[in-house]
A and B are shown apart, each in its own frame.
Chain A
Amino acid sequence: MTVLLDLEGVAAYYGAIQALNGIDIQVMEGEIVTLIGANGAGKSTTLMTICGSPQARSGRIMYAGEDITNRPTHQIMRMGISQSPEGRRIFPRMTVLENLQMGAAFGDPAHFDADLEEVFSLFPRLKERIAQRGGTLSGGEQQMLAIGRALMSRPRLLLLDEPSLGIAPMLVRQIFAAIKEINAAKGVTILLVEQNAFHALRLAHRGYVLVNGAIQMSGTGSELLARPEIRAAYLEGGAV
C-alpha cells in the first residue's frame, strides 16, 4: 500500500493561539481513516491545515509524493483533494445543481453528466431538490449536498468533517452507508473527522485520537473500539 497523505510534525496556529501541536498522521491509498476527539481538540483545524487554510507553521504535509505544505488552498484542491467542511458551507443562494456545478468547476466538463448521475444515485434526495436553493434544504440534505459537491471533482482523497453533526439518526445511517460505498465502490481514500466515535471507528480501517492538538493514540478501528479509555471518554454516554 502506498502512502497518499503524510503529516509530519504539523503545527498550526490561529494568530498566537496554537491549535495543532506537531501531529503525525498517515493515510494509505484506499483507506478510511478516522480522526476522533472532543470538541475543540483540533480535528477541523487538521483538515483545514491539509487544505492550506491556515497554513502549517512547522512540519510537513506530503500528498501523493508532493510537498503541499506551503501551497495556496486553491492549488491543493485542484490536486485531487476535496473537503466537505464543518458546518457544510452550502452556498445558500445557489440551487442544488449550481452547488454541484461549483464542485465540478475544475473537472473535465465531459465527466459532468456522469458524475452528476453518480451523486444522484448515491443521494436520490438531491435529485428531487435539484432546483431548490441550498439555504432552504434541511440539515441532512445539506450534508448530502456537501458530500456530493465534494465528489464532483472526482477526488482521490476526500476529507469529511463531522458529517453526522445535527442530523436525524436515520439520515446518519444513510450518510455513513454512502461514505462506505464511496470508499469501496469508487476507491476514494477518506479521512473522516467525527465526534460520533462509535460509528466512525466501526466504519474506519484505522483511527487517530486527537487530544488538545496532539495525537494521543492510534490503531485499527476495532483496536481503538476495544480500548477501555476510548470507551470511557468517547463512547459511554455519547451519541450512538
Chain B
Amino acid sequence: MEYFLQQLINGVTLGSIYGLIAIGYTMVYGIIGMINFAHGDIFMIGAFSGLIVIVGLGALGLGSAGGLIVVAIIGAMIVAAAYGWALERIAYRPLRGSFRLAALISAIGMSILLQNYVQLAQGARVKPLQPMIEGGFVLMQKGDFTVNLSYLQIIIVGTTIALMTGFSLLIAKTSIGRSQRACEQDMKMAALLGLDVNRTISLTFMMGAALAAVAGMMFLIYYGVIDFFIGFLVGIKAFTAAVLGGIGSLPGAMLGGLLIGLIETFWSGYFTVEYKDVAAFAILVLVLIFRPTGLLGRPEVEKV
C-alpha cells in the first residue's frame, strides 16, 4: 500500500511532464495533420536554455533559487517558442501541400539536426544541476519505508494543472483559441473569414514549444541531469501519450500523459526497471492496432 502510494505520486509527476509535451504533438497534428517529430528536441532545447540561464545568473550570484527558476522558465519558453517558430517556417511550411511523407522526413531531419547542434555547442557529456528545491512531506512511514511527497513534486503537478487549465480555457474561450479550432476544422474556410492561417499555425507551434520548455525545466530540476539526447526518448513517450489519448484531442493529450507516466512508473516499480521503455512502446503498438483514434479521439469520418 505504501509502496503503491509512492509509485502513484512519482507516476503523476512524470505524467505531468509527458502531458505538457504531448499537448504540442496533438495541437500541431490537429491543425496541419503532421507529426512534429522534432518536438521532443524542442523540449530538450527548453531544458538546455533553462540550465544556461540558471548557471549564468547563478554564477553572477544573482537571485534566490525561486527567482532563478522563474526567470529560467520564462527564458526557456521564449527560446523554445523561437525555435518552434523557426522549425515550422524552415522545415514544414515549404512542404505544406506536398506529399505527407515529405514533412515527416523533414521532421526527422530537423530532430537529428537539433540534437547534433546541441551536442556540438554544449558537448556530449551529461550536464548536472545541483538540487534547487529540496525537502517535502513524509506522508506515511512503515518500518524503513517512507512515502515522500517532495515540494518539487507538488510544484510540478501544481504548475501542470494550472497550465493545462489555463491552456484549455484559452482554446475554448478566447478568439485565439477559436481561430485555432477553426483552422483545425476547415483551414480554407478560416482563410475565407479573413484569418491569416499561416500566423495561426506559427502561433500553434510556438505555444506547443513553450509548454514543452516548461516540461524541459521540470525535467531538468527533477532529475538534475540532462544531455542532448533526452528529447528522443521523452519525446517518443509524450508522442505515445498523445496517441493513447487520441491524437488531435487536447484533453486526450493530458489524460494520455498521465497514463503513460503512471504505467511507466508502476511497470518499473513492480516488474523491472530495465524494460521500462518497453512498456510505453508496447502501448503505442497496441493502441495503433486496436484503437488508432485513442481514448478521447474522434473517428476521421466527418472530413468533407
Q: A89-B304, A102-B182, A135-B302 are in contact. Are A78 and B188 (CB under 8 A)?
A: no
Query: Which A residues between 52 and 93 are near B, CB-CB below 8 angstroms?
Result: 53, 72-74, 77-78, 83, 85, 87, 89, 91-93
Asked if B192 contacts A101 (CB within 8 A), the reply is no
Q: Is B194 an interface residue (CB 8 A)?
A: yes
Q: A74-B195, A78-B194, A105-B175 are in contact. Are A91 and B188 (CB under 8 A)?
A: no
CB distance from A143 to the nearest CB of B (A): 14
Q: A102-B178, A102-B182, A105-B179 are in contact. Are A89 and B196 (CB under 8 A)?
A: no
- Cβ contact of A89, chosen from B178, B181, B189, cutoff 8 A: B189
Q: Is A213 an interface residue (CB 8 A)?
A: no
Cα distance A72–B199 when bound, in Å? 13
Cα distance A77–B194 when bound, in Å? 5
Cα distance A105–B177 when bound, in Å? 12
Taking CB atoms, residues of chain A closer than 8 Å to B189 are 85, 89, 91
Asked if A94 contacts B185 (CB within 8 A), the reply is yes
Taking CB atoms, residues of chain A closer than 8 Å to B182 are 91, 94, 102
The dominant DSSP class at the A interface is loop
- Cβ contact of A102, chosen from B188, B193, B302, B304, cutoff 8 A: B193
Asked if A94 contacts B192 (CB within 8 A), the reply is no
Kindly list the 9 A-B residue pairs having the minimum CB-CB distance in the complex, ordered from nearest.
Answer: A77-B194, A89-B189, A73-B191, A106-B194, A78-B194, A91-B185, A74-B196, A74-B194, A102-B182
Taking CB atoms, residues of chain B closer than 8 Å to A78 are 194
Q: Is A149 an interface residue (CB 8 A)?
A: yes
CB distance from B176 to the nearest CB of A (A): 10
Taking CB atoms, residues of chain A closer than 8 Å to B192 are 51, 53, 73, 77, 83, 85, 89
Taking CB atoms, residues of chain B closer than 8 Å to A93 are 181, 185
Q: Is B197 an interface residue (CB 8 A)?
A: yes
Taking CB atoms, residues of chain A closer than 8 Å to B197 are 74
CB distance from A205 to the nearest CB of B (A): 25
Residue from A73, A92, A102 having most chain B Cβ neighbours under 10 A: A102
Closest B residue to A149 using CB positions: B193
Closest B residue to A98 using CB positions: B178
Taking CB atoms, residues of chain A closer than 8 Å to B181 are 91, 93-94
Interface membership of chain A positions 99-112, coded 1 if the CB is closer than 8 angstroms to chain B and 0 otherwise: 00111011000000
Cα distance A91–B186 when bound, in Å? 7
Asked if B194 contacts A87 (CB within 8 A), the reply is no
How many A-B pairs fall under 8 Å by CB?
Answer: 61
Cα distance A73–B192 when bound, in Å? 7
Taking CB atoms, residues of chain A closer than 8 Å to B149 are none
Cα distance A91–B185 when bound, in Å? 6
Asked if A53 contacts B191 (CB within 8 A), the reply is yes
Q: Is B203 an interface residue (CB 8 A)?
A: no
Q: A101-B175, A101-B178 are in contact. Are A74 and B191 (CB under 8 A)?
A: yes
CB distance from A211 to the nearest CB of B (A): 26
Q: Is B279 an interface residue (CB 8 A)?
A: no
Asked if B194 contacts A92 (CB within 8 A), the reply is no
Taking CB atoms, residues of chain A closer than 8 Å to B175 are 101, 105
Taking CB atoms, residues of chain B closer than 8 Å to A74 are 191, 194-197
Taking CB atoms, residues of chain B closer than 8 Å to A98 are 178
Residue from B175, B194, B304 having most chain A Cβ neighbours under 10 A: B194
Q: Is A153 an interface residue (CB 8 A)?
A: yes
Taking CB atoms, residues of chain B closer than 8 Å to A149 are 193
Cα distance A92–B300 when bound, in Å? 13
Taking CB atoms, residues of chain A closer than 8 Å to B32 are none
Taking CB atoms, residues of chain B closer than 8 Å to A105 are 175, 178-179, 193-195
Cα distance A51–B182 when bound, in Å? 18
19 chain-A/chain-B pairs, Cβ below 8 angstroms: A51-B192, A53-B192, A72-B196, A74-B197, A77-B191, A77-B193, A83-B192, A85-B189, A87-B304, A89-B189, A89-B304, A92-B185, A93-B181, A94-B185, A102-B178, A105-B175, A105-B178, A105-B194, A106-B193
